[in-house]
Amino acid sequence: MCRILPLIFLVFISVPSCFGRSHSEVRQNCSSSILKQGRVQNVQYQQQSLVQGCVFERKIVILGAQGSGKSSLGNSFLGWTLNSLRPGPFFVGHGVEAGTLMSSYSSGAWLGKEGSPGVTVVDTPGFNSSFEDMEELVWLLADLEEVDLFVIVFKHGDRFSSELARSLKTIGRLLGSIWRNTVVVVSHWSFDAPSRLRRRNTRVNKNRYAEQLADTLKEKLEIDFEMPIYFVDSHHNNHDRVEKKNFESETDGLWKFLQNAWTWKSITKSDIDEAVRDIKRKFGELQQKCSVFVEEKVLFRDLQVENKAKIDAQNSLIEFMRRQIDHMKRSCL
């Protein structure tokens, strides 16, 4: 049996021990009626409701770079806001340290609201993490079998780097065709008054930013359609009318997409094994290529130094010969 560690109001599952490829546990499914029963834990003075130890039919997986705001977004999907009195189910990192060190999930009511459908949210390590973390995620998803929505979190102000594109492509190779089930959430896009004024002064707006980001995704991921893009502020002030209205509008659009999207089904475990081996082989080849590149760089630098010394010596010889010629001219005259 997997070791289950209770934390705050949910159950975190340790991926390496519970989701290994030899693991065959059948996890209990959450029923819709369970949100109305006593197994739901309501937090006093807040709307959040979490269900322990089971998985809802609707599942959302959050992907993105380290520090992009994945855990905060996952918490907001389950009802946590800036005004919540207690920490959310997913640990939020600050500074240079990663908040999420392994994939984990939590189940509860969508946006934590009474009467909302139940969802299971999967939080994942950042793309800055190791390939082993990605492999753990793949086996977790194989255990969940189906996913309704993948969410790529992109931090406003960040550059869409080649490393991010490479990581997304790796995820695509490991999981198969997921992009039709994927949306992008732009994080750190606050709707408070100072942020709105700053964007207005710098002529940055949602539509233009979304168009540019959609074009970049099409180019980097080599897809022929535009991914939906939403601006969800997971740190919005629930008491501010404008911030609350924009949060509800963006999450409503995301939920509608989820309801209309085809469910992604995990590839077979034998296919996962093959995909993992292929990526590891290419990753190993890349490491070898990088090693050769470093060696060649050192050799090139040494050759540069040697050539410079030769050029300096030749220049000195030329200068000496010029002086000799000038001396001979004066002597002859």
> pLDDT for 273-284, tens place per residue?
777 777 666 665
Contact 233, 251 (CB under 8 A): no
Bridge partners for 85 per DSSP: none
* pLDDT, position 18: 35
Helices (H), the chain: 15-18, 70-77, 131-144, 162-175, 193-201, 206-221, 241-260, 269-332
Q: Which two tokens stand for residue 222?
A: 């080599």
The pairing of beta strand 146-147 with beta strand 264-265: antiparallel
Average of per-residue pLDDT across 107-119: 88
Predicted pLDDT at 313: 84
Given a cut of 80, whether residue 295 has pLDDT beyond it is no
Residue 146 confidence (pLDDT) above 90: no
| CA atoms of 52 and 115, how far apart (whole Å) | 18
β-sheet bridge partners, residue 258:
none
> What CA–CA distance (Å, rounded) separates 271 from 273?
5
| pTM for this prediction | 0.69
C-alpha–C-alpha distance, residues 254 and 231, integer Å: 10
d(CA 83, CA 147): 30
**118 contact partners, CB below 8 Å, separation of at least 6:** 30, 32, 34, 35, 51, 56, 57, 58, 107, 108, 109, 110
Give the tens place of pLDDT for each residue, 68-93: 889 899 999 998 887 777 777 776 54
Q: Specify the pLDDT at position 10.
A: 37
Tell me the per-residue pLDDT of 181-238, one tens digit each, with 9 for 90 and over.
999 999 999 999 999 999 999 999 999 999 999 999 999 988 999 999 999 999 999 8
Q: Which long-range contacts (CB under 8 A, 24 or more apart) does 216-219 make?
A: 216/160, 217/160, 217/184
pLDDT, position 291: 54
**Does the pLDDT of residue 134 top 60, yes or no?**
yes
Structure tokens at 75: 């918490």
